[in-house]
């Protein structure tokens, strides 16, 4: 159990059987009345955010999320299959629990699988991935490195906005959290 006054961003808690991550919190001590904690929580299973106010003396249960490093193998209509790097056990995760991860998954990529009491919660990707550009508008003389962008389709099918000088065949570093182009990787 943890006091709500000890909230930290990213803390995972359990309330009424649901798992939440603390997104934002604010301690409020009004001039009159008791102090309280106003928080924004994200449901891990559904992805929905809720705002909730707690009395300052309230306690909540902390949830211990386990992370297992696994290698992505392939996907089928049943879901996405991963292999534990230590035991070589294979695990298939339904597409519904994958979130945005399929947009960035490449064969043999190492990811972390989130579990709570043997329940698969989802996949945590690396913060950045390197993907090859498979389709984009051609560059023209006079396009500069600054000012403007164009859409580019990457090898996994995800579309990101890139500078005009990016061409088909370039390998890009992309932030998986924001879906933004970071840099062109030297070949």
162 contacts 152 by C-beta, under 8 angstroms: yes
41-56 pLDDT tens trace: 988 887 788 999 998 8
Q: What is the spatial distance between Cα 158 and Cα 176, in angstroms, rounded to a whole number?
A: 10
- Could you tell me the pTM of the whole model? 0.71
Q: What percent of the chain has pLDDT over 70?
A: 94
The domain defined by 2-62 folds into SH3 type barrels. (2.30.30)
Model pLDDT, residue 44: 83
Q: 66-124 in CATH: which number?
A: 2.40.50.140
Handedness of CA 54, 12, 120, 76 (dihedral sign): positive
Mean pLDDT of 156-185: 88
Domain boundaries, given as residue ranges, for the chain: 2-62, 66-124, 128-185
The domain 128-185 having CATH identifier 2.40.50.140: the answer here is yes
Q: Are 44 and 64 in contact (CB under 8 A)?
A: no
């Amino acid at each position: 159990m943890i006091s709500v006054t000890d909230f930290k961003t990213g803390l995972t808690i359990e309330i009424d059987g649901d798992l939440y991550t603390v997104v934002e919190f604010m301690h409020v001590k009004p001039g009159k009345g008791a102090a309280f904690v106003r928080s924004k929580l994200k449901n891990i299973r559904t992805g929905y955010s809720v705002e909730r106010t707690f009395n300052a003396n309230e306690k909540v249960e902390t949830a211990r999320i386990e992370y297992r490093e696994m290698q992505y193998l392939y996907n089928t209509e049943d879901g996405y299959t991963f292999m534990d790097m230590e035991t070589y056990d294979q695990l298939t995760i339904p597409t519904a629990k994958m979130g945005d991860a399929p947009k960035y998954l490449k064969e043999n990529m190492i990811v972390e699988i989130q579990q709570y009491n043997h329940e698969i919660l989802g996949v945590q990707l690396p913060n950045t991935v390197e993907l090859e550009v498979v389709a984009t508008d051609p560059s023209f003389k006079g396009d500069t490195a600054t000012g403007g962008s164009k859409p580019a389709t990457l090898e996994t099918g995800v579309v990101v906005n890139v500078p005009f000088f990016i061409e088909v065949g370039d390998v890009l570093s992309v932030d998986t959290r924001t879906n933004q182009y970071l840099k062109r990787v030297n070949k």
